[in-house]
Amino acid sequence: MSATVEFDEIRPYNDDEVAGVVNGLLNDAEFLDTIVRFKLPRLGKIIAPLIRPLVKSRLAKEAAKVKVVYDFQTRIETYLRHVIDTTVGELTLSGLEHLARDKAHLFISNHRDIAMDPAFVNWTLYQNGFTTLRIAIGDNLLTKPFASDLMRLNKSFIVNRSATSPREKFKAAKLLSKYIFHSVKNDNENVWIAQREGRAKDGDDKTNAAIISMLVLNKDKPMAFADYIRELCIVPVSISYEYDPCGYDKARELTTKALQGEYKKQQHEDVQSIAKGITGYKGNIHLSFGEPLNQEFENSEQVTEYLDTVISQNYVLHATNCFAYEILEKISPRVPVGVEGKLFCDMKLDEERSQFLAYVNQCPSEYRETLLKGYAQPVYKKLPQ
């Protein structure tokens, strides 16, 4: 069985499939109407059927330039550049000197935003001479066929989270493990996955050991565990946002769970989170790339612990994290608060502090403490235990 056939149900689209998929999207009424509603949230639902032909015509002109996956990603780059220009203060990075441009890596990052975490890693790598990523995305986010098509055109591969029986889950995990290894070693393609399923809504970045256990399902029994981890060329990535566009929503969900024991998502709530994450203000962002794992690990638990340590250490604190810590600990802004030798009582931060307080005060009062804890969590993790 060829690799393409074996991985058909989860892999991204190949160049020779692009034209057919794009044509299908242009003739998908639901996709066209979704574009209208995204652009015109108040009127879109009413006028979408009326202007559908116009939207199709306009998209067709752009799609005429899309023949292969690279063409599609070039179009995505244009939109992503606009997102960065309009919603990001400064995008900074560190650690790329640890990586070889001619070698594929498996990037495992903390997870704060559904779409933008891999997008920023992808953007940073591409702008610095690396190949773009194959991105893991859960099928729970692909409730519409057109969403799956768009993601797979952009080199995303599908993580089966809808499997129910233990046998189905194991089969899906084994296929995923094999595909990731095949991507890195055989196709020499960079891969991105999150350190956990679901975002760290409480600001506490923790690797799910099950993710690491999944990665090694493909390992041949005679092969040493540490050697297989080295073959995967795992790189820990720390992404830190100054502001979280979904911060209020995360605080509401966590508070509701704490008070009522559960939180039921509204229909298409994840899609709305994706939209907010893309269009909302994020302030300054820093991406830190660690060194590829090369230690003599003996099991998944050791890898998990190491990733947690490195991702936390490399996480770059923003002033907003420290302001939240000040508020929760009732520390006067004029008293030096030291983390990693830095002081966060600088008079120059008064304007930023006022902006953050205004942001916090816009959050419903019953969710504010949870919101603050999410921002302060990275500070607590850096303080001596």
249 and 297 part of one domain: yes
pLDDT of residue 267: 75
Whether residue 152 sits in one domain with residue 130 = yes
**Percent of all residues in the chain with a pLDDT value above 90, rounded to a whole number:** 77
Structure tokens at 364: 């419903």
Hunting for tokens 């690279």 — which residue is that? 70
pLDDT tens track for 259-270: 999 999 887 788
Residue 178: its pLDDT value, please?
Answer: 98
> 299: which 2 tokens?
């099991």
Quickly list DSSP for 98-129: GS-TTS--EEEE--S-TTHHHHHHHHHHHHTT
Looking at the domain assignment, is residue 26 inside a domain? Answer: no
CB 87 within 8 A of CB 280: yes
Q: CATH number of the domain that 117 lies in? A: 3.40.1130
Residue 234 contacts by C-beta under 8 Å, 6 or more apart in sequence?
105, 106, 108, 292, 293, 303, 307
Helix (H, G, I), strand (E, B) or coil at 363: coil
Rounded to an integer, the average pLDDT of 355-378 is 97
Q: How far apart are CA 28 and CA 33, in angstroms?
A: 9
Does one domain contain both 324 and 310? no
Establish if 42 belongs to a structural domain. Answer: no
| In a shared domain, residues 217 and 134 | yes
Confidence of residue 349 (pLDDT cuts 50, 70, 90): confident
Q: Point out the domain boundary residue: 259, 290, 314.
A: 314
For range 239-245, the mean pLDDT: 98
Residue that terminates a domain, selected from 261, 289, 314 = 314
Do 219 and 84 lie in one domain? The reply is yes
Per-residue model confidence (pLDDT) at position 330: 86
Q: Answer whether residue 336 shows pLDDT above 70.
A: no
Q: Lowest-confidence range among 1-10, 90-99, 103-112, 169-178? A: 1-10
Average pLDDT score over the chain: 91
Q: Label residue 272 by pLDDT band (50, 70, 90).
A: confident
Phi (first) and psi of residue 144, to 5 degrees: -115, 140
Last residue of a domain, one of 277, 292, 314: 314
- Cα–Cα separations (whole angstroms), residue 368 to 25, 130, 249, 252, 342: 42, 41, 11, 9, 26
The answer to whether residues 146 and 235 belong to one domain is yes
Mean pLDDT to the nearest integer, 327-334: 77
Tell me if 371 sits within 8 A of 360, measured CB to CB.
yes
Range of the domain at 266: 67-314
Does 132 share its domain with 235? yes
Q: Find the distance separating the first CA and the last CA of the chain, reported in whole Å.
A: 53
Asked if residue 15 is part of any domain, the answer here is no
> In this model, does residue 37 exceed pLDDT 50?
yes
Asked whether residue 24 is assigned to any structural domain, the reply reads no
Strand partners, 286: 92, 240
Report whether pLDDT(339) > 50: no
What is the pLDDT at residue 4? 63
Domain count, the chain: 2
Predicted pLDDT of residue 385: 66
Q: Assign residue 361 a region: left if phi > 0, alpha if psi is -120 to 50, beta otherwise?
A: alpha
Q: Is residue 8 part of a domain?
A: no
For 164, other C-beta atoms within 10 Å of its C-beta total 7
**Residues 130-185 pLDDT 10s:** 999 999 999 988 888 888 999 999 999 999 998 999 999 999 999 999 999 999 99
> Count of CB atoms within 10 A of residue 356's CB?
25
> Are 197 and 95 part of one and the same domain?
yes
**Do residue 272 and residue 352 come from a single domain?**
no
Q: Tally Cβ neighbours within 10 Å of residue 279.
A: 13
Residues 294 and 154 in one domain: yes
pLDDT tier, 344 (very low <50, low <70, confident <90, very high otherwise): low
Strands 338-339 and 342-343: antiparallel
What is the average per-residue pLDDT within 231-259? 97
pLDDT of 66 > 70? The answer is yes
pLDDT tens profile 199-239 = 999 999 999 999 999 999 999 999 999 999 999 999 999 99
Query: For residue 12, is it within any domain?
Result: no
Please check whether residues 297 and 332 belong to one and the same domain: no
Q: Are residues 225 and 374 in the same domain?
A: no
Q: Are 312 and 380 in contact (CB under 8 A)?
A: no
- Structural contact between residues 360 and 243, judged by C-beta atoms closer than 8 angstroms: no
- Are 320 and 377 contacting, i.e. CB atoms less than 8 angstroms apart? no
Q: Which two tokens stand for residue 22?
A: 């794009």
Whether residue 48 lies inside any domain: the answer is: no
Closest CA to 80 of 118, 131, 123: 123
* Residue 297: inside a domain: yes
Give the residue-averaged pLDDT of 117-121: 97
pLDDT at res. 363? 97
Residues ≥6 apart with Cβ < 8 Å to 67: 15, 18, 19
The pair of three-digit structure tokens given for residue 331, joined into one six-digit string = 């520390």
Contact 237, 286 (CB under 8 A): no
- In which band, very low, low, confident or very high, does the pLDDT at 365 lie, cut at 50, 70 and 90? very high
Q: pLDDT-derived band of residue 332, with 50, 70 and 90 as boundaries? A: low
C-alpha distances (whole Å) from 9 to each of 31, 160, 198 are 21, 10, 22
**Nearest 5°: CA angle at 191, between 186 and 196?**
135
